[in-house]
Amino acid sequence: MQRQLWVLFGWTVELGAACTVVAVLGIEIADDQTVETFVEWVPRKAAAAVTWRERLATTRPRELVAELPFWSDTAVASAVLVEPVLQSGPLADAVRAQVDDIVGSAY
Protein backbone atom coordinates (compact mmCIF):
# COMPACT_ATOMS: atom_id res chain seq x y z
CA MET A 1 0.00 0.00 0.00
CA GLN A 2 1.19 3.48 -0.88
CA ARG A 3 -0.32 6.55 0.74
CA GLN A 4 0.04 10.20 -0.24
CA LEU A 5 -1.27 13.35 1.41
CA TRP A 6 -1.48 16.58 -0.56
CA VAL A 7 -2.16 20.01 0.92
CA LEU A 8 -4.19 21.95 -1.65
CA PHE A 9 -3.80 25.71 -2.03
CA GLY A 10 -6.19 28.20 -3.58
CA TRP A 11 -5.71 31.68 -4.99
CA THR A 12 -5.41 34.52 -2.47
CA VAL A 13 -6.46 37.77 -4.12
CA GLU A 14 -4.84 40.02 -1.52
CA LEU A 15 -1.43 38.39 -1.99
CA GLY A 16 -1.65 37.54 -5.70
CA ALA A 17 -0.62 33.92 -5.17
CA ALA A 18 -2.02 30.49 -4.33
CA CYS A 19 -1.28 30.52 -0.62
CA THR A 20 -4.64 29.81 1.05
CA VAL A 21 -4.91 26.23 2.31
CA VAL A 22 -8.27 24.95 1.09
CA ALA A 23 -8.10 21.18 1.69
CA VAL A 24 -6.05 18.09 2.33
CA LEU A 25 -6.38 15.24 -0.16
CA GLY A 26 -5.41 11.70 0.72
CA ILE A 27 -4.69 9.05 -1.90
CA GLU A 28 -4.15 5.41 -1.10
CA ILE A 29 -2.98 2.93 -3.73
CA ALA A 30 -3.52 -0.68 -2.69
CA ASP A 31 -1.30 -3.56 -3.73
CA ASP A 32 -3.92 -4.56 -6.34
CA GLN A 33 -3.68 -0.98 -7.75
CA THR A 34 -7.13 0.12 -6.60
CA VAL A 35 -7.15 3.79 -5.63
CA GLU A 36 -9.03 5.27 -2.70
CA THR A 37 -9.27 9.02 -2.06
CA PHE A 38 -10.47 11.17 0.79
CA VAL A 39 -10.60 14.97 0.93
CA GLU A 40 -11.23 17.22 3.92
CA TRP A 41 -12.06 20.83 3.05
CA VAL A 42 -10.90 23.68 5.28
CA PRO A 43 -13.97 25.56 6.54
CA ARG A 44 -14.69 29.07 5.24
CA LYS A 45 -12.34 28.79 2.26
CA ALA A 46 -14.97 27.91 -0.36
CA ALA A 47 -14.19 30.78 -2.75
CA ALA A 48 -10.47 29.92 -2.89
CA ALA A 49 -11.28 26.21 -3.35
CA VAL A 50 -13.34 26.50 -6.57
CA THR A 51 -10.55 25.30 -8.89
CA TRP A 52 -9.77 22.30 -6.69
CA ARG A 53 -13.44 21.38 -6.35
CA GLU A 54 -13.77 21.38 -10.14
CA ARG A 55 -10.58 19.35 -10.61
CA LEU A 56 -11.57 16.71 -8.08
CA ALA A 57 -15.14 16.49 -9.35
CA THR A 58 -14.01 15.79 -12.92
CA THR A 59 -11.01 13.52 -12.32
CA ARG A 60 -11.17 9.83 -11.48
CA PRO A 61 -9.15 8.65 -8.46
CA ARG A 62 -6.64 6.69 -10.58
CA GLU A 63 -6.05 9.76 -12.79
CA LEU A 64 -5.35 11.94 -9.73
CA VAL A 65 -2.09 10.09 -9.14
CA ALA A 66 -0.83 11.26 -12.54
CA GLU A 67 -2.36 14.75 -12.49
CA LEU A 68 -1.35 15.95 -9.00
CA PRO A 69 2.38 16.39 -9.73
CA PHE A 70 1.44 18.58 -12.71
CA TRP A 71 -1.18 20.56 -10.79
CA SER A 72 1.19 21.09 -7.88
CA ASP A 73 3.17 23.56 -10.00
CA THR A 74 0.24 25.64 -11.25
CA ALA A 75 0.08 29.25 -10.12
CA VAL A 76 -3.64 29.52 -9.43
CA ALA A 77 -4.24 26.34 -7.43
CA SER A 78 -1.12 24.49 -6.36
CA ALA A 79 -0.44 21.57 -4.02
CA VAL A 80 2.33 20.28 -1.78
CA LEU A 81 3.04 16.63 -1.05
CA VAL A 82 3.30 16.02 2.71
CA GLU A 83 5.89 13.64 4.10
CA PRO A 84 6.13 11.57 6.22
CA VAL A 85 2.61 10.20 6.13
CA LEU A 86 0.96 8.06 8.78
CA GLN A 87 0.68 4.71 6.99
CA SER A 88 -1.46 2.82 9.49
CA GLY A 89 -5.15 3.31 10.19
CA PRO A 90 -7.88 4.70 7.95
CA LEU A 91 -6.97 7.19 5.22
CA ALA A 92 -9.61 9.60 6.54
CA ASP A 93 -7.88 9.71 9.93
CA ALA A 94 -4.53 10.62 8.34
CA VAL A 95 -6.18 13.39 6.27
CA ARG A 96 -8.07 14.81 9.25
CA ALA A 97 -4.91 14.77 11.38
CA GLN A 98 -3.13 16.83 8.71
CA VAL A 99 -6.00 19.33 8.60
CA ASP A 100 -5.85 19.59 12.40
CA ASP A 101 -2.11 20.31 12.18
CA ILE A 102 -2.68 23.05 9.60
CA VAL A 103 -5.57 24.69 11.41
CA GLY A 104 -3.82 24.39 14.77
CA SER A 105 -0.65 26.03 13.45
CA ALA A 106 -2.63 29.04 12.24
CA TYR A 107 -3.37 30.13 15.81
pLDDT for residue 43: 77
How many folded domains does the chain comprise?
A: 1
pLDDT at 93: 92
Residue 2 confidence (pLDDT) above 80: yes
Q: What is the pLDDT of residues 40-84, one digit of tens each?
A: 998 777 788 999 999 999 999 999 989 999 999 898 999 999 986
Distance CA 70, CA 8 (A): 13
Q: Give the whole-angstrom CA distance, residue 64 versus residue 70.
A: 10
For residue 83, what pLDDT is reported?
81
Is residue 106's pLDDT more than 60? no
pLDDT at 48: 87
Strand segments, DSSP code E, in 1-84 are 2-12, 17-29, 35-41, 79-82
Q: Which domain holds residue 15?
A: 2-105
pTM (2 decimals)? 0.89
Cα 58 versus chain centre, distance? 15
pLDDT for the residue 101: 85
